[in-house]
């Protein structure tokens, strides 16, 4: 009799503990998905199964549908500050609207990962800060129309939309070096989209002699160029921040222009 009573008491105690645990879970208002736990009908109705694509803008959806990849998904350790998604650019207009992520062709993103890995190995305190990736041709037209230069000089800074830019193919990237902890960009002598000889890699020796840039600026640019070279990128003569993953011929053979 005593044994039966003892078993009954233990059973009641366990039942009470289970009820208390269940009540505690209900107070959190969050369904548990642990092993052995089954959602009831109310829990299932309260779950939100919407995907991130429901919250992104039309421009970003079009880039994803075109097969491009978000660079931060390939290289989480970089920073992104799209200059054309703000008014901090040479013509003071936001033409990317709510786009905040930089996109590239998958092959180009993998090349950039090689460059990033070299940079982290050799300069662990540095990372990349991306200013622009793929640029739809319709945005290229806006840049072309707003560039206050003679048509004969415009191609030095912005490719003619009729021909298409390597940015339009998603195989060019604009970037700089930044502090790996804060994302603060290094001073490399000029701002992004600076139109003048101090931004020209081809004129660095002259600009040094004239005191327009410093040795520290050039050393930083050399680190950036070496990192990008390791990934198979090539620079251009008029912009220290611009790098191409493929030639125009290769890009046109491999990819379509993003309109």
Q: What is the mean pLDDT of residues 246-254?
A: 96
- Tens-digit pLDDT profile for residues 96-137: 989 999 999 999 999 999 999 999 999 999 999 999 999 999
- Tens-digit pLDDT profile for residues 211-245: 999 999 999 999 999 999 999 999 999 999 999 99
Element (H, E) at 131: strand 126-132
Q: In the chain, what are the domain boundaries?
A: 2-46, 52-254
Q: How many CA atoms lie within 13 A of 62 on its CB side?
A: 14
pTM above 0.85, yes or no: no
User: Residues 6 or more apart from 36 whose CB is under 8 A from it?
Assistant: none
CATH of domain 52-254: 3.30.1380.10
Single out the residue of 124, 133, 125 nearest to residue 81, CA to CA: 133
What letters, b where the CB count within 10 A reaches 16 and e where it falls short, cover 26-42? eeeeebeeeeeeeeeee
Cα–Cα distance, 2 to 11 (Å, whole number): 14
- Tens-digit pLDDT profile for residues 43-76: 434 444 333 455 789 999 999 999 999 999 999 9
Cα–Cα distance, 126 to 1 (Å, whole number): 76
């Amino acid at each position: 009799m005593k044994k039966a009573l003892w078993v009954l008491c233990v059973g009641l105690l366990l039942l009470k503990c289970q009820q208390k645990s269940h009540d505690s879970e209900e107070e959190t208002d969050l369904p548990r998905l642990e092993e052995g736990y089954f959602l009831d009908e109310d829990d299932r109705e309260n779950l939100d199964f919407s995907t991130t694509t429901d919250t992104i803008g039309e421009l970003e959806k079009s880039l994803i549908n075109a097969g491009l990849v978000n660079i931060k998904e390939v290289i989480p350790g970089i920073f992104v500050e799209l200059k054309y998604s703000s008014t901090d650019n040479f013509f003071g207009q936001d033409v990317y609207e709510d786009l905040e992520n930089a996109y590239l062709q998958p092959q180009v993103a993998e090349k950039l990962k090689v460059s990033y890995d070299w940079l982290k190995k050799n300069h662990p305190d540095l990372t990349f800060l991306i200013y622009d990736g793929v640029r739809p041709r319709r945005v290229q037209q806006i840049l072309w129309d707003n560039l206050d230069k003679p048509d004969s000089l415009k191609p030095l800074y912005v490719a003619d939309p009729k021909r298409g830019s390597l940015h339009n193919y998603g195989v060019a990237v604009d970037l700089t070096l930044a502090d790996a902890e804060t994302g603060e960009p290094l001073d490399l002598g000029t701002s992004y989209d600076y139109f003048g000889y101090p931004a020209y890699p081809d004129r660095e020796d002259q600009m040094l002699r004239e005191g327009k840039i410093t040795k520290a600026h050039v050393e930083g640019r050399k680190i950036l160029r070496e990192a990008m070279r390791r990934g198979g990128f090539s620079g251009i003569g008029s912009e220290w921040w611009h790098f191409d993953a493929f030639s125009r011929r290769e890009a046109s053979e491999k990819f379509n222009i993003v309109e």
